[in-house]
């Protein structure tokens, strides 16, 4: 079983913020692939499904970003899921809007959700699906940028990205991150040219 964690903050006031693109990604994947309804468990909300025969538990921690690791650790411990089978979907300032990169392990680049997962799991050996939201240009503007809602002008690329992530998700579950990234890139380019 894989544990896919969307990083974000709970509550309707945070729902459209850039920081919540991890939640949005899991919602799109669960909807597209007929996962179970979301229910409260492991200090979060979970939905279960299968992608190409691989069981996936989607988890949206409801502990706020800075304490995301508590929910992840609880789920991983109870279900005996190794860090190597945990994937964090999160916003990434250092990628252009709509770009996606996948990597195993590594640093947190100042992302509090990743930092707390690393603390709770006592390792950095989990994978990350980095979802580009772009950088505001100056360090002092970062907090307002990530905690700000997507603008109306962003709606096109955000919807295209979420649709592409949902379409390509089985490739990620099958352990083909390169194919997943290629598929997402192709689908988002197709949507941009329409």
Categorize the per-residue pLDDT at 193 as very low, low, confident or very high, splitting at 50, 70 and 90.
low
pLDDT, residue 109, reads: 76
pLDDT, residue 189, reads: 83
Q: Which residues are catalytic?
A: 19
Q: Is the pLDDT of residue 96 over 80?
A: yes
Q: Is the pLDDT of residue 194 over 60?
A: no
Categorize the per-residue pLDDT at 54 as very low, low, confident or very high, splitting at 50, 70 and 90.
very high
What is the topology classification, in CATH, of domain 2-155? Rossmann fold (3.40.50)
Which of 20-34, 35-49, 101-115, 126-140 comes out lowest in average pLDDT? Answer: 101-115
pLDDT, residue 136, reads: 84
Q: What is the mean pLDDT of the chain?
A: 92
As a whole-number percent, the residues of the chain with pLDDT over 70 amount to 98
pLDDT tens-digit series, residues 113-169: 899 999 999 888 999 999 999 888 888 888 889 899 998 989 889 999 999 999 999
Q: Is the pLDDT of residue 191 over 80?
A: no
Structure tokens at 112: 């509090």
pLDDT, residue 143, reads: 87
């Amino acid at each position: 079983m894989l544990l896919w964690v969307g990083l974000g903050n709970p509550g309707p006031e945070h729902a459209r913020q850039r920081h919540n693109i991890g939640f949005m990604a899991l919602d799109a994947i669960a909807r597209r692939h007929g996962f179970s309804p979301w229910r409260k468990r492991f200090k979060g909300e979970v939905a279960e499904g299968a992608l190409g025969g691989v069981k996936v538990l989607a988890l949206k921690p409801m502990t706020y970003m800075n304490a995301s690791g508590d929910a992840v650790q609880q789920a991983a411990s109870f279900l005996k899921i190794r860090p190597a089978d945990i994937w964090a979907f999160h916003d990434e300032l250092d990628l252009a809007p709509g770009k996606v990169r996948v990597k195993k392990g590594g640093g947190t680049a100042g992302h509090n959700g990743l930092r707390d997962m690393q603390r709770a799991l006592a390792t950095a050996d989990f994978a990350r699906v980095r979802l580009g939201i772009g950088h505001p240009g100056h360090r002092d503007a970062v907090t307002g940028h990530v905690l700000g809602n997507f603008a109306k002008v962003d709606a096109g690329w955000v919807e295209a990205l979420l649709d592409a992530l949902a379409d390509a998700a089985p490739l990620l579950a099958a352990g083909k991150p390169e194919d997943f990234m290629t598929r997402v890139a192709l689908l988002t380019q197709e949507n941009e040219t329409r």
